[in-house]
A and B are shown apart, each in its own frame.
Chain A
Amino acid sequence: MERNPIRRQLAIMRQSLFDQGHVDEQFVQLEELQDDANPNFVEEVVTLYYRDSARIILNIEQALERKPFDFRKLDAYMHQFKGSSSSIGAKKVKAESTLFRECCKSGNGEGCMRSFQQLKKEYATLRKKFGAYFQLARQAGPVETASRPK
């Protein structure tokens, strides 16, 4: 158990990310890749993700403004988005992308819009949570996934 209160809080935050279904197993993989050589790996990846995926989100938004919907394009964008989201372990976001793609496949424009709104919400929520998490992490110092004697 973490003695350091910050660390402890960090651990709690982290656990809630999992418990609430925001992140999945893949996130653990990211954490495992973080080590002394790569001390801020997780944060780097997540930051990169948000930066890059913002572009895709924008593309999708624009595409959704053009009627009729170009489902193929929308699907292609979402496929890309889903790929990155799954790479960082963003579970809810990924699930929502899947739904979106289903709507694209069945040509369900309404469904697409709804799904996309939901997706943006999850995306934003997760970003906030990550933001808080990493901020705390920076305060706490290097986060260790494996317990190491101090």
Chain B
Amino acid sequence: MRVERVISDENDSFPVGMRVLAVDDDPTCLLLLETLLTKCKYNVTTTSQAITALKMLRENKNKFDLVISDVHMPDMDGFKLLELVGLEMDLPVIMLSANGDTKLVMEGITHGACDYLLKPVRIEELQNIWQHVIRRKKFDRKDRDGSGSQDKPYIDSSEAAGLGNVDHNGKFNKKRKDQNEDEDEERDENGHDNEDLSTQKKPRVVWSVELHRKFVAAVNQLGIEKAVPKKILELMNVENLTRENVASHLQKFRLYLKRISCVANQQANMAAALGSVDSTHLRMGTMNGLGNFHTLAGPDQIHNAAFRSFQHSGVLRRLNTPAGVGISGLPSSGLVQLSPVQNLGNTSTYQRKLQSFVIPGNHNANILQGMPMSLEFYQLQNNRAASHVGQFPSVDNTTVLPVSSISGSLIDAGCSNSPLLGVTSNSLLLEGSSQLPTLHASNLRDSVSGFPNRSTLSDFTSIAPASNQLHGSKADIQDQAFPISCNAGKIISSAPQDWNAPKKDAPYQSNVPSCSINSLRAVNGDMAQLGQCLDQNNPIFNRNVGFDFVDPLSIKCSEGENLAMEPSVIEKEGYLMVQPSRQGIYIPDNEGENFAMEPSVIEKEGYLIVQPRRQGSYIPGNLGSLEDLASAMTKQDHDKGKPTDGDFGYNDYSLRTCI
């Protein structure tokens, strides 16, 4: 194999003198990295702060060729830096970490890292990083240069070496292999491709609906496994489309498919696990505004999650019915899975707590109330009209809750590190973002009226219904208003000792007019996304999907905005349980307000599973199955050491309900 150096415009002896920016908060590692890079004859600049690095990069976009960054940094998440650099400067970024978990690596990929190295870094691994620069330049150059073909800069051996370095994750390898294969193919066509491309000087390709349709048709024809850009291109037979365009589009498409399949799997799992639960669960149909249940991780507990009441009647009704599990107010018989609450406590405690659950007036037997809402399975009543459930950004690690029609809203809690599950109608929206707006108890409190005695509000993290039709489209969600019908359910929580959240009395409003819930806020970074919950290995969702729900409820965890909804809210430890008011919402018959049922609660791994149990009413699933499900869905990953785990729920989050 010949090793050829590409003559770069900047430096004739490339890769010698390649300008690398190294970022690592650990001085030992940074020094080591610097020395290693210098030994590789690169031109190294170091900084221990991501912010400084960004500044340097922004000052002069041409100052560096490559960035190497640690994943865990105090001032900014490495992945965030990665994204920013990729977006703003379009430089190749290599991630570095002592943690080589598949999940992390996957996250690196989805954030656009061109490589992921494990500490301690060896010099051999660094010797080949220049390939990333070339690779990127190559595509640019193709468009820019009119000159003839370039000699292939890559060599199989170097690529292989590169591949070899990344053996943490088989998938990663495979991806690179694909890339490499593509590159190899390209190598052959390079000769005449260059001329074609250079003459065309194509601008960015816009993937129109038509084009995408052709693309999908081609992929389907070939079969997703065998779909390679070259063949797709041939099948599509579109002028002025390059293999690279197809390749990058294919990559995105694959990610999308994975996301979808995760949701589907999730639902299947839920269905399976639920067992005794009404079979209509997992129906993703209409989802009314389901708030977000999120299990907040983080030391400061869960922030308020506003649980929005569901608009339609029957949302709460669920509680009463045998199938009534989960959040009342979930009209449809969908299942709402909540991200597992971190610590599944013993149910007995919760049961106690639930006892004093009072539902004034229309009993929005909001299960959420005080119940450890492991909104893991919420059965939504079938017959409930389902309004759309807005999609809430889900925090990573939260599972997707399949919610059929859920009217009302779920609390969406957004806090840094709080996973927020978004419930959306027909789709699970997962947002990964570290700042998930949450409904503060205070917010809810203000907006909720009329509850005489609520001692605490529990915040619920969002429930992300997993919908079959999980679309990632923001559009769907954004337009949905989740009426929150809060009824004057009163939630009384006996303050359990472990509730250290400030107990607030939430003035619950009865008959809250529906409020749209736009609680989905893009949560940055840390929020698990639905996809993530579905598939632990799929951190794809962990991205800011830029959900911008306009939330009249102004759910924002850090802002004491008024939550325009009037759900009955239980706030505790950052969990906000809202009892949707009963406007036409289901209210348990015995309206005894006392939701004296003792929901069995399974709190596990940050997921709160609430099984409201009405005397004699059906207890959905048995705890066992819920637990199983919860455990199946949860995967604890403490390694990550940061909230954005691909797990369901946040580890630190314990959802407690106090009743």
Question: Bound state CA distance, A54 and B299, in angstroms?
Answer: 24
Do A38 and B35 touch (CB < 8 A)? yes
Interface contact B638-A104, CB-CB below 8 Å: yes
Cβ contact of B122, chosen from A29, A44, A79, cutoff 8 A? A29
- A125 at interface, CB cutoff 8 A: no
Say yes or no for B103: interface residue by CB 8 A criterion: no
Closest CB of chain A to B643's CB: distance in Å? 9
User: What separation, in Å, do the CA atoms of A24 and B642 have in the docked complex?
Assistant: 28
Closest Cβ of chain B to A20, distance in Å, is 20
A45 and B641 in contact (CB under 8 A), knowing A72-B299, A76-B72, A105-B636? no
Is B120 in contact with A86, judged by CB distance below 8 angstroms?
Answer: yes
A72-B651 contact in complex given A33-B35, A104-B638, A105-B638, C-beta closer than 8 Å: yes
Query: Which single member of B32, B297, B651 contacts A87 (CB below 8 Å)?
Result: B32
B28 touches A88 (CB 8 A): yes
A29 with B120: CB separation less than 8 A: yes
Are A41 and B119 touching (Cβ within 8 A)? no
A52 vs chain B, min Cβ distance (A):
5
Which residues of chain B have C-beta atoms less than 8 A from A80's C-beta? 26, 72
A138 on interface, CB distance cutoff 8 Å: no
**Using Cβ atoms and an 8 Å threshold, which residues of chain A touch B642?**
76
Distance A86 CA – B72 CA, assembled complex (angstroms) = 15
For B144, the chain A residues whose CB sits under 8 A away are none
The answer to the question of A144 belonging to the interface, with a C-beta cut-off of 8 Å to chain B, is: no
Q: Is the CB of A70 within 8 A of B299?
A: yes
Tell me, yes or no, whether A82 is within 8 Å of chain B by CB: yes
A41 to B31, CA, bound (A): 10
Whether the Cβ atoms of A72 and B98 lie closer than 8 Å is: no
- State whether the Cβ of B188 lies closer than 8 Å to any Cβ in chain A: no
Chain B residues with CB under 8 Å of A121's CB are none
Instruction: Kindly identify, within residues 290 to 309 of chain B, every residue whose CB is under 8 Å from any CB belonging to chain A.
Output: 297-299
Q: Are A75 and B641 in contact (CB under 8 A)?
A: yes
Q: Please give me the residue from chain B that is nearest to A26 by CB atom.
A: B120
Among the listed B29, B36, B39, which residue makes an inter-chain contact with A83, where contact means beta carbons less than 8 Å apart? B29
The complex places the Cα of A29 from the Cα of B98 at a distance, in Å, of 17
B99 lies within 8 A of chain A by Cβ: yes
Determine if B164 is an interface residue (Cβ-Cβ < 8 Å): no
Interface string of B19-43 (1 = CB under 8 A from A): 0000000111101100110010000
Set of chain A residues within 8 Å of B27, measured between Cβ atoms: 48, 52
The answer to the question of B257 belonging to the interface, with a C-beta cut-off of 8 Å to chain A, is: no
- Shortest CB-to-CB span from B421 to chain A, Å, is 20
Which residues does chain B contribute within 8 Å of A45, judged by CB atoms?
28, 31-32, 35
Interchain CB contact under 8 A, B32 and A72: no
- Mark A74-103 against chain B: 1 for CB-CB distance below 8 A, else 0: 011001101110111100000000000100
Residues of B contacting A: mostly = loop
Shortest CB-to-CB span from A34 to chain B, Å, is 9
Determine the chain B residues whose CB is within 8 A of the CB of A8 once the complex forms.
Answer: none
Inter-chain CA distance A36–B611, complex, in Å, is 70
Cα–Cα, bound, A30→B122 (Å): 10
Contacts of B28 in A (CB 8 A): 45, 48-49, 52-53, 84, 87-88
When distances are taken between beta carbons in the complex, the residues of chain A under 8 Å from B122 are 29
Q: Are B26 and A83 in contact (CB under 8 A)?
A: yes
A58: shortest Cβ distance to chain B, in Å? 16
What B residues does A76 contact at CB under 8 A? 72, 641-642
User: Contact between A72 and B120 (Cβ–Cβ < 8 Å)?
Assistant: no
Does A73 touch B at the CB level, under 8 Å?
yes
The answer on a CB contact under 8 Å between B120 and A89 is: yes
A71 at the interface (CB under 8 A from B): yes
- Indicate if the CB atoms of A72 and B297 lie closer than 8 Å: yes
**A72-B299, A72-B652, A75-B638 known; A83-B32 Cβ under 8 A:** no
Are B31 and A44 within 8 A (Cβ)?
yes
CB distance from B589 to the nearest CB of A (A): 42
Q: B123 within 8 Å of A by Cβ?
A: yes
The chain B residue sitting closest to A102, CB to CB, is: B638
In Å, the complex CA distance between A82 and B641 comes to 13
Expressed in whole angstroms, the minimum distance between the Cβ of B163 and any Cβ of chain A is 21
Q: Which of B123, B636, B639 has the most CB of A within 10 A?
A: B639
Contact with A along B88-119 (1 / 0, CB 8 A): 00000000011100000000000000000001
Cβ contact within 8 Å between A105 and B639: yes
Bound CA span A32–B39, Å? 10
A81–B300 Cα gap in the complex (Å)? 24
Q: Ordered nearest first, which 3 A-B pairs have the shortest CB separation?
A: A83-B98, A105-B638, A76-B641
25 of the cross-chain contacts (CB-CB < 8 Å) are A29-B123, A30-B32, A33-B32, A33-B36, A33-B123, A45-B31, A45-B32, A52-B26, A71-B638, A72-B297, A72-B299, A72-B638, A72-B651, A72-B652, A73-B299, A76-B642, A80-B72, A83-B72, A84-B26, A87-B32, A87-B119, A89-B120, A101-B639, A104-B638, A105-B639
Query: Given A83-B72, A86-B120, list of 5 further CB < 8 A pairs?
Result: A45-B32, A49-B28, A84-B28, A87-B120, A89-B120
